[in-house]
Amino acid sequence: MKERTFVALKPDAVRRKLIGKIIERFENKGLEIIAMKMVKLDREMAEKYYEEHKGKEFYERLINFMTSGRIVVMVIEGENAISVVRKMIGKTNPAEAEPGTIRGDFALTTPDNVIHASDSKESAEREIKLFFKEDEIFSE
């Protein structure tokens, strides 16, 4: 089933110049990037983006990290894109991420774990709408 998912390359990925290497993995897999841009989150946008984590012990650290530099946001489309991308990025904790996954190969700690991807159809729709207008998404 063809579906869309949301992916964000976090400030550590941008700082470490990993953008091209990570995008190449998605393209090599046969997924299509149908929208992409670089943004700098302000606190308000970061709080909207991570509202489900408000009140958790790591929330402030996450907000501070995600507003510390530029991020690259994208919409990726393909067969079972949500589950395929989640498998490709690996576990949230890089110490538990398998070698060969994006986090397993490029990340060391959390929240600086290089990448975020939606974990469900609902979160993908919410996150895509947060960052993209419909006319910025180019699905064939």
pTM: 0.95
Mind listing the pLDDT tens digit of every residue in the chain (140 residues)?
899 999 999 999 999 999 999 999 999 999 999 999 999 999 999 999 999 999 999 999 999 999 999 999 999 999 999 999 999 999 999 999 999 999 999 998 888 899 999 999 999 999 999 999 999 999 87
Count of beta carbons in the 10 Å neighbourhood of residue 55? 6
User: CA angle, corner 108, sides to 65 and 99, nearest 5?
Assistant: 135
Q: Which domains does the chain have, with CATH numbers?
A: 2-134 (3.30.70.141)
| Cis peptide bond upstream of 99, omega within 30 | no
Catalytic annotation present for 116: yes
* Active-site annotation holder among 12, 116, 127, 128: 116
Report the C-alpha dihedral over residues 98, 104, 110, 116, rounded to 10 degrees: -100
